[in-house]
Structure 1
């Protein structure tokens, strides 16, 4: 049996679930529907059944998330395989081709299972049964496989797959007739009634050599620059950075447009066991087990006499009360609150556009800033001073750095900190503090086995994050 190599695409930065999902930390990394993130759920699902040879997942992401990905996988006990860093987002076709070329160099007989990191597929066993059907078709016909979701409503937010025939109940692959763009409502109703149309899931399965051949035939202009980007990739702290100069020559295009809509050896495996791309807050409501009144709530929330609502509080210090409302989305973050009609769920990205036009930092950035060593949160920002909470993972360390414009006070509130100030090192325990003068070279480390938390008070004429001069950094940041 051929080895299945999972390929997880996790570099996206969607805006449709603002304010929880933002460019700085998009939806695949947040615990949207439980205790684990969508990326973690995807990685568990892509491990495969014990009866089949599945390789470690190959991850494709970008510079901003290169440390988030292994951290989240490590937290659930999954050791990732290669992590390829895209210099810039170029849509799915170059990413899939880069993965295929890399895998071909390792095992030209491999089969790759490609999936976005931000979808919900709750039935793992049914998913792998569908993959097994696809593997049979690849073995028999050498087809490129996509997975079609059996529609249960006339959805206008998805692209469709027109099958060559109405699928039977066996789950066997069916030849694909053509792709269909997102339809209007009347067309969606007609396709639902027809029975030979399915939603396009964006999940693919193909032999590595077959998809490379398809790229050479249908999107040949991509092959040379992506091949060069892979060949000239540089290893960096366990990541593989695709060559930036070569990547600049790559056209940004989806795999559907570049290859799948042109190939004549496509088959669709029907899938009816539950799937969502979680593309709107209305989808989140449906997936959040609403009660008999259609009320779905998360966090410190109280609802009274409400119908068909989603109410979320994303801060333990923030309570949200909804009373006598219908068809409403309310998502409360510490720095932003979304209130929208349920039938406008697909328009949330317009709010992000409006905020960006105003220069509002809430458009793209969360109040919590994730870093390789942990995270920090700004608690108070005022003229000439700022208060932060800083969380440092066990064994992690900030860079050796200095500042031109600010001094800092650190008060440890949990764990023990190892602090370097110029040539002096000291351990600072809970309820102890230390002062870092302006211009001093300093480093903060967590030598313990539990997270270390401190409160930082900055004072100075300028408090921006760009007032950092790095001298040494364990994470090779510039």
Structure 2
């Protein structure tokens, strides 16, 4: 999701990391379905990242960190220092952040597993807390307790005591230290991660972790697996502004409010309303006589929620997954290695898409059994193979592809190719595709 300044959180995280003095490489661990979109986001910054670990499914932070530490040991040596940054944080003060990182590096070199604690500015019930222990010098503190999300009264007492900080979920440690603690406290996870990484390594880049072996790793957080058990835990107190963008409430708090507490990232009109947040990609939103609402309009769906229930949006995702609803798996705009497509309209026996094919990119050589396709070039140049016919199409030209015909679309130009695809047929599902050749290795 793009923020008002035009960058998304992933891009901001990479830029923040690469701007730290001494950082030489970034390793990105993500789901394999997000690889091309993430790679393109990095390229837009002019900061290409060549080191990747791609997960077949989500297995929480313990599995991700264990495999990352194994990879960094194999690639950079066991003394490599790892700075682990989730990609959904917003940090504005780079200098203060780098100061905290430098303190963490000093502790990491002393065989510590370091986390970053954020000085609390309000009794927040949506974050975990860390109780700081003895001073470890100017760098940080030992940790006496990790605390789950408290209620408001308990959170207020934590702030009053001055002994607690928010648990940010960022870490710093040497590769050899964290692997030793994995082996000590979660030997089964450590052994399975070793096996998974070893059998996944190949000369092909990026490295995609084994479906079978990675799926057998436990779904557990790094805090639960290691940090709450190790005697080497330490915390650096971060005195920088920090936002964990884990809810729409967090997004709402980023913008400037009007005199009535309303914020809007949409073309909108707000009348007799208070403390509302409106966001829309395209449509106009009007709010009249309502209070404390989140109204989020996207191409996929419309969300209306009370601001106090922002964290409960996850229940929607859970229920969509349980019902195997298409919204859980597919969005109106879908990113592919060659570009993206957006579904503009669909109905019985037809679907209309807008295709954007990047310069030099190519769709696979493929056929569909159940649908016909009509392609119209909006802008750019298309090289099309349609059965035995090969031709170039320019703006406003078109071609028709009959079901069962092997075809391919390429962009030989220097700019994006934009096309309209009209599908018709008895079945228009995305799984009606047989690939014969694909430069991206898809099956």
- Normalization by structure 2: what TM-score? 0.95
Q: How many Å apart are 1:100 and its aligned residue?
A: 0.7
Shift in CA distance, 326/476, structure 1 to aligned 2, threshold 3 Å: same
Aligned to 1:444: 409
The Cα shift of 1:251 comes to 1.5
Corresponding residue to 1:430 among 395, 408, 412: 395
Return the offset for 1:364. Answer: 4.6
The one of 4, 17, 37 equivalent to 1:46 is 17
1:411 aligned to 2:376? yes
Aligned to 1:385: 350
Out of 261, 264, 275, which is 2:242 matched to? 275
For structure 2, which runs of at least 5 residues remain unmatched after alignment? Answer: none
In structure 2, C-alpha distance between the alignment counterparts of 1:356 and 1:97, rounded to whole Å? 28
1:227 equivalenced with 2:194 (yes/no): yes
Number of residues of Structure 1 aligned to a counterpart in Structure 2: 442
Contact 2:130–2:145 (Cα < 8 Å) also in 1: yes
SS of residue paired to 1:222: helix
User: 2:42 matched to which residue of 1?
Assistant: 73
Aligned residue in 1 for 2:83 = 113
Judged with a 3 Å threshold, the aligned counterparts in structure 2 of structure 1 residues 322 and 222 are, in CA distance, closer, same or farther, namely: same
Distance (Å, rounded) in 2 between the aligned partners of 1:405 and 1:236? 38
Partner of 1:475 in structure 2?
440
Mapped to 2, the partners of 1:470 and 1:443 lie a distance apart of 10
Distance 1:281 1:88 in 2: 25
Question: Is contact 1:377–1:388 with CA below 8 Å preserved after alignment?
Answer: yes
Matched, 1:254 2:221: yes
C-alpha separation between the residues in 2 aligned to 1:358 and 1:138? 45
1:217 equivalent to 2:184? Answer yes
Report matched runs for 1:304-383 at 5 Å. 304-315=271-282, 318-356=283-321, 360-383=325-348
CA drift of 1:152 comes to 0.9
Would the aligned equivalents of 1:235 and 1:241 in 2 still touch at CA under 8 Å? no
User: Would the aligned equivalents of 2:183 and 2:191 in 1 still touch at CA under 8 Å?
Assistant: no
| Equivalent residue, structure 1, for 2:96 | 126
TM-score, normalised to structure 1's length? Answer: 0.88
Q: How far apart, in 2, do the equivalents of 1:277 and 1:148 lie?
A: 13
- State the Cα distance separating 1:33 from its structure 2 match: 4.5
Match status 1:207 vs 2:177: no
Q: Shift of the alpha carbon at 1:358? A: 5.6
Please say which of residues 363-372 and 268-277 is displaced more in the overlay: 363-372
Match of 2:85, SS state, is: strand
Alpha-carbon distance between aligned partners in 2 of 1:310 and 1:286, rounded to the nearest angstrom: 9
Q: Structure 1 353/99 Cα, relative in aligned 2: closer, same or farther at 3 Å? A: closer
- CA–CA distance in structure 2, aligned partners of residues 129 and 312 of structure 1: 35
* CA deviation vs aligned residue, 1:431-472 (integer Å, no higher than 9, x gap): 111111221110011111111111111111111111111000
Q: Quick one: distance in 1 between partners of 2:320 and 2:176?
A: 45
Q: CA RMSD in A?
A: 1.9
**Mapped partners of 2:372, 2:271: distance in 1:** 49
* Residue aligning to 2:266: 299
Note the C-alpha offset of 1:303.
2.4
